[in-house]
Amino acid sequence: MKGKRIITAIIALVLVVGTIYTVPLTKTSAAKKVKISAESFDLNPGAVRTLTVSGTSQSVKWSTSNSKVVSIKKNGNKATITAKKKGNATITAKVGKTKLQCKVKVSGKKVLIAYFSRSGNSKKVAQYIQKQIGGDMVQIKTKKAYPSDYEKCTEQAEKELEDDIRPEITTKVKNFDKYDEVVIGYPIWWGMAPRAVCTFVEQYNWEGKTLITYCTSASSGVGDSAAEIGRLCKGAKRTKAFSAYDDEILNSSLKKRIDKWLKNIKA
Ligand SMILES: Cc1cc2nc3c(=O)[nH]c(=O)nc-3n(C[C@H](O)[C@H](O)[C@H](O)COP(=O)(O)O)c2cc1C
């Protein structure tokens, strides 16, 4: 009887120890599996993505099936993919005998990113958006520069908003008609978009275009500003506006929020 109990105890001990050691071992071998960071994505021409191969210390050989559609800049286990023109391409990462692939579809969608920026925040966001979705970029510039003195600038901006004036701008987009999606970015001035942004959007025919808006601000957020821009872009399909705040420009959590917003954009 005593002998039976000892055997049962030994079996239990073996099972417990076995479980403890098998779990971490399985995890370690799974982590070592060679992987590519994405197996497919859709891009607009001009958009940039990074692909990474993990789980190996061996060298990675990168190639594209169509260099007219996407170009690759190789950097060890990472590769920067830039979408060039409409079409499909397969990116291959060869690690020893293992072949990992990512299918890239480049759409023919034409994107314009137009932004106003006095102190650079909205510009930084515009540049990040361009990296993600591609497209052409233009800065909305006034004929007469705003005062470099912050107080003076806020006084002028307040007056312009009160009188709802349209400052003259020097920015003119040729072939605005060719764009399918237009991103309008601006700082919040007294709760709204600078009046120069209104001057810009009112010049064009927005029929059938998708309007994407974002703003940067110290704390106010988008407020009624995007709704106003939406009203001025008659005929455009509006999407959910995005707010970035000064203290997060351009940290990794803002980048993640922008990525999520862009992914979920629905006209
Ligand atoms: C004239 C003026 C008015 C502003 N009004 C507001 C405001 O009402 N609410 C707010 O949160 N920030 C306000 N700000 C701060 C800017 O929105 C913020 O710093 C923005 O990120 C600046 O963007 P930029 O660097 O692209 O010009 C104002 C700034 C200026 C110059």
Q: Which atom of ligand 1 is nearest to the CA of 191?
A: 8
Q: What is the pLDDT of residue 207?
A: 98
> 198 vs 5, which has greater pLDDT?
198
The Å distance, Cα 36 to ligand 1 centre, comes to 41
Number of the ligand 1 atom closest to the C-alpha atom of 119: 25
pLDDT, tens digit (0-9, with 9 covering 90-100), for 222-257: 999 999 999 999 999 999 999 999 999 999 999 999
pLDDT(119) > 90: yes
So what's the pLDDT on residue 157?
98
pLDDT of 47 above 50: yes
How far is ligand 1, taken at its centre, from the CA of residue 214, in Å? 13
- Answer yes or no: same fold for 35-106 and 111-263: no
At 224 the three-state DSSP class reads coil
Per residue in 16-25, pLDDT (tens digit) is 555 544 444 4
What's residue 13's pLDDT? Answer: 56
In percent, the amount of the chain with pLDDT more than 70 equals 88
pTM for the predicted model, two decimal places? 0.85
**CA 153 to ligand 1 centroid distance, Å:** 10
Q: How high is the mean pLDDT of the chain? A: 91
Ligand 1 atom nearest to CA at 192:
8
The domain limits of the chain are: 35-106, 111-263
Q: Which of 188, 214, 219, 248 to mutate to test the pocket of ligand 1 (most atoms within 8 A of CB)?
A: 188
pLDDT at 198 over 70: yes
Q: Which of 125, 189, 213, 220 to mutate to test the pocket of ligand 1 (most atoms within 8 A of CB)?
A: 189
pLDDT at 27: 42
Give the pLDDT confidence score for residue 30 in this predicted structure: 44
Kindly tell me if the per-residue pLDDT of 112 is higher than 90. yes
CB contact burial 53-73 (16+ within 10 A = b; e otherwise): beebeeebebebeeeebbebe
- In short, whether 216's Cβ falls inside 6 Å of ligand 1 is yes
218 lines ligand 1 (CB under 6 A): yes
| Angstrom distance (rounded) from CA 5 to CA 72 | 66
From the CB of 243, is ligand 1 less than 6 Å away?
A: no
E-assigned strands of the chain?
A: 35-36, 40-43, 48-54, 61-64, 70-75, 78-83, 87-95, 98-106, 111-115, 136-139, 181-187, 210-217, 237-238, 242-245
Whether residue 154 has its Cβ less than 6 Å from ligand 1: yes
Is 111-263 a CATH 3.40.50.360 domain?
yes
CATH of domain 35-106: 2.60.40.1080
Q: Which of 153, 213, 217 to mutate to test the pocket of ligand 1 (most atoms within 8 A of CB)?
A: 217
* pLDDT above 90 for 86: yes
pLDDT band at 26 (very low <50, low <70, confident <90, very high): very low
Q: What is the mean pLDDT of residues 49-67?
A: 96
Alpha carbon separation from 164 to 12, 83, 150, 212 (Å, rounded): 81, 41, 20, 23
pLDDT of residue 6: 66
Q: Check if 171 has its Cβ closer than 6 Å to any atom of ligand 1.
A: no
How many whole angstroms from its chain centre is CA 103? 19
